[in-house]
């Protein structure tokens, strides 16, 4: 196993803001924004990375943890994700390629009643800015953004 280059390059602490799309609310109350911290740490052999982040909603702190690794030959990235707001009953596995531009885009699924929904998680590193985006996918495959967090090194 290996770590995607983007995640390896993002090693360390980041500070920024996170936007949460609460699509079930009226448009004027839909977007909630808060300060957010993110930290990337790798093991000594660079076999995997742990990404932790925090953000706030309605005065309550939330946090998430992502375990990231990649098959060095196929370049398939695997994430194990849990979050106190979105994914708080199980660890979601997301998989996807390390993209030619260095970004990472993964996809996982979860059950909502009898339907299977999807979730994407994307990381992009541009200069000194790290972006984490998440989308919710309907059973029909329609995407709606759920989270967009933009960070700078702290």
pLDDT of residue 102: 83
pLDDT in tens, 103-112: 999 999 998 8
Taking the C-alpha atoms of residue 76 and residue 95, their distance in angstroms, rounded to an integer, is 7
Residue 146, pLDDT above cutoff 90: yes
Residue 1, pLDDT above cutoff 70: no
pLDDT of residue 90: 86
Mean model confidence pLDDT for the chain: 92
Taking the C-alpha atoms of residue 130 and residue 150, their distance in angstroms, rounded to an integer, is 6
The residue ranking higher by pLDDT, 28 or 18, is: 18
Taking the C-alpha atoms of residue 130 and residue 49, their distance in angstroms, rounded to an integer, is 16
What φ, ψ does residue 8 adopt, rounded to 5°? -60, -45
Where do the structural domains in the chain lie, given as residue ranges?
A: 5-153
pLDDT of residue 67: 97
Among candidate residues 69, 104, 105, 109, the one with its CA nearest the CA of residue 93: 109
- Beta bridge pairs of residue 38: 14, 53
Instruction: Give whole-number Cα distances, 102 to 39, 98, 121, 151, in Å.
Output: 19, 6, 14, 17
pLDDT of residue 26: 76
The residue ranking higher by pLDDT, 103 or 24, is: 103
For residues 39-67, give the mean pLDDT.
95
pLDDT in tens, 115-128: 999 999 999 999 89
* Domain at 5-153, CATH class: mainly beta
pLDDT in tens, 70-104: 988 888 999 999 999 877 788 999 999 888 888 99
> What tokens does 27 get?
């448009």
């Amino acid at each position: 196993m290996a770590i995607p280059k983007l995640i390896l390059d993002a090693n360390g602490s980041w500070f920024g803001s996170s936007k949460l799309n609460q699509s079930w609310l009226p448009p004027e109350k839909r977007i909630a924004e808060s300060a957010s911290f993110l930290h990337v740490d790798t093991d000594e052999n660079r076999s995997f990375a742990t990404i932790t982040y925090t953000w706030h909603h309605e005065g309550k702190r939330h946090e998430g943890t992502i375990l990231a690794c990649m098959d060095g030959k196929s370049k398939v990235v695997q994430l194990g994700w849990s979050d106190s707001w979105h994914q708080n009953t199980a660890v979601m596995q997301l998989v996807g390629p390390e993209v030619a531009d260095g970004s990472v885009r993964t996809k996982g699924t979860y059950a909502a009643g009898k339907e299977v929904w999807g979730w994407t998680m994307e990381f992009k590193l541009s200069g000194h800015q790290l972006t984490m985006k998440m989308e919710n996918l309907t059973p029909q495959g329609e995407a709606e953004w759920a989270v967009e967090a933009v960070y700078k090194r702290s």
